[in-house]
Amino acid sequence: MQALLLTIGDEILLGQTVDTNSTWLGQALNAIGIQVSRRITVSDQLADIQDALNYGWEKYDLVIMTGGLGPTKDDITKKAIASFFEVDLVFHQETWDRILRIFERIKRPTTEAHREQCYMPANAELLPNAMGTAPGMWFQQDGHILISLPGVPYEMMSIMQEEAIPRLEKQPGLIPIFHRTLLTAGMGESQIASRLDTFEKSLPEHIKLAYLPSLGQVRLRLSAYGGESSIRQKEIDHFAGLIYKEFGTAIYAEGDTSLEASVGQLLKERGLNLATAESCTGGAIAHQITSVSGSSGYYLGSVIAYHNELKTTQLGVLPEELAEFGAVSEPVVRQMVKGVLQTFHADVAISASGVAGPTGGSPEKPVGMIWIAVGNHTDIRTRELRLGKDRQKNIETTAVLALNELRLWILDHPEIVGTGISF
């Protein structure tokens, strides 16, 4: 079953609102084997909506419209639908009774706009809305389905989950889709692509590999379309196995998680607590670690020694070292780890110092040169990064690579466990 998502709203075209509804719908439909083949966003103009609806109904098995149903908007969507199916808008007493009950309960008066919400295209099957006043609508005819939903995200999601998805799952002809998404860190997209060149050429037609890159990370998504489910599952597992064989521990997890959550999980399993000592990253490593709910179970805190004097007073970097090697150097990040391990009584630590840019570079220490260190009291590993000229990118990439370096360090030290953390 091929679907079109049709989003209605000037605020989306103007860039005032991010269209997260379509993102959520893409995931939800894909999970039940419905492929979103296209997304279209149009303005609140009747002609635009009708044009897109004509196109979608003809080309796709399923059209899901969001937006343009609610008490403050012109209910232009319903007019477009009624005109498309050549039916009248009829008053729906049951919906009106429900709205009256809701407003009685919250002791507020209804408005004329609420009454108008109860006019529906005559051929609509209503999908009750547990979260708001405007119900969703279901239209089915000649092998095509049209679903119209309010644009408010939690109302849209509620109607989908409670009403629309159970109905869709009963439709014949759903093509099963199987996915596995392998999450890698520390390798570039092109590096991965060149190592998977032969592999990709060996993939059968019905299996696809997609690269989803972000700073310092690439998600590799294997998808199998159609066919017998147990066979497809086995195929996907086989090809995933080959990717594991190629990249080993560069793959940190699968599916819907993050590097910071995976590192957190690893720390928890080992009972290790973590501290950080940051210079050029200015809190980005700490921020990433603490974006994980429950990070207080393994993360102690950080010294951000942006000023060099603090590297000395807070982290024990000797002024002679700073003078001889400079703040962006291997001995300094090494001492930053040692210093914060000692001051914070931490099991393991991460540090970073570099030239984030865009200014401040020199011939010996150009913009993008960044030293990171990870380790414990007995073994500290350091690494020099050579990144680009973009400040934000350098900071975020360093945070990702430093966290990944800690992960690899922990994996290389299977014997090391900590005593945990207690608050």
CB of 161 to its own copies, least distance (A): 13
CB of 85 to its own copies, least distance (A): 23
Q: What is the DSSP letter of 176?
A: P
- The CA distance from 343 to 219, in Å, is 37
Closest CA to 205 of 184, 226, 188, 191: 226
Q: Say how many CA atoms lie within 13 Å of 107 toward its Cβ.
A: 0
Choose between 125 and 162: whose C-beta lies nearer to its own copies: 162
Cα dihedral value 180, 181, 187, 190, nearest 10: 80
Choose between 246 and 390: whose C-beta lies nearer to its own copies: 390
Choose between 140 and 316: whose C-beta lies nearer to its own copies: 316
Q: Are 186 and 103 in contact, with CB atoms under 8 Å apart?
A: no
Closest CA to 338 of 322, 314, 310: 314
> Which amino acid type is present at position 403?
L
CB of 34 to its own copies, least distance (A): 11
- The CA distance from 183 to 176, in Å, is 23
* Dihedral of alpha carbons 382, 385, 390, 396, sign: negative
Q: What is the DSSP letter of 160?
A: I
Convert 325-351 to b/e letters by CB count within 10 Å (16 or more is b): ebbbbebbbbbbbbbbbebbebbbbbb
Task: Kindly state the tokens that stand for 313.
Answer: 């007073």
- The CA distance from 353 to 216, in Å, is 17
Choose between 12 and 410: whose C-beta lies nearer to its own copies: 12
Question: Hey, which residues does 369 pair with through a beta bridge?
Answer: 386
CB of 249 to its own copies, least distance (A): 20
Choose between 23 and 141: whose C-beta lies nearer to its own copies: 23
CB of 178 to its own copies, least distance (A): 13
Choose between 18 and 415: whose C-beta lies nearer to its own copies: 18
Residues whose CB is less than 8 angstroms from the CB of residue 296 and which lie 6 or more positions away in sequence, other chains included? 421, 423
CB of 123 to its own copies, least distance (A): 26
Task: Kindly state the tokens that stand for 142.
Answer: 């000649």
Pairing label, strands 369-375, 348-354 = antiparallel
Choose between 302 and 376: whose C-beta lies nearer to its own copies: 302
- The CA distance from 227 to 162, in Å, is 28
CB of 72 to its own copies, least distance (A): 5
Task: Kindly state the tokens that stand for 1.
Answer: 């079953």
CB of 414 to its own copies, least distance (A): 26
CB of 1 to its own copies, least distance (A): 14
Choose between 37 and 83: whose C-beta lies nearer to its own copies: 37
Task: Kindly state the tokens that stand for 342.
Answer: 């000692």
- The CA distance from 89 to 118, in Å, is 9
CB of 354 to its own copies, least distance (A): 12
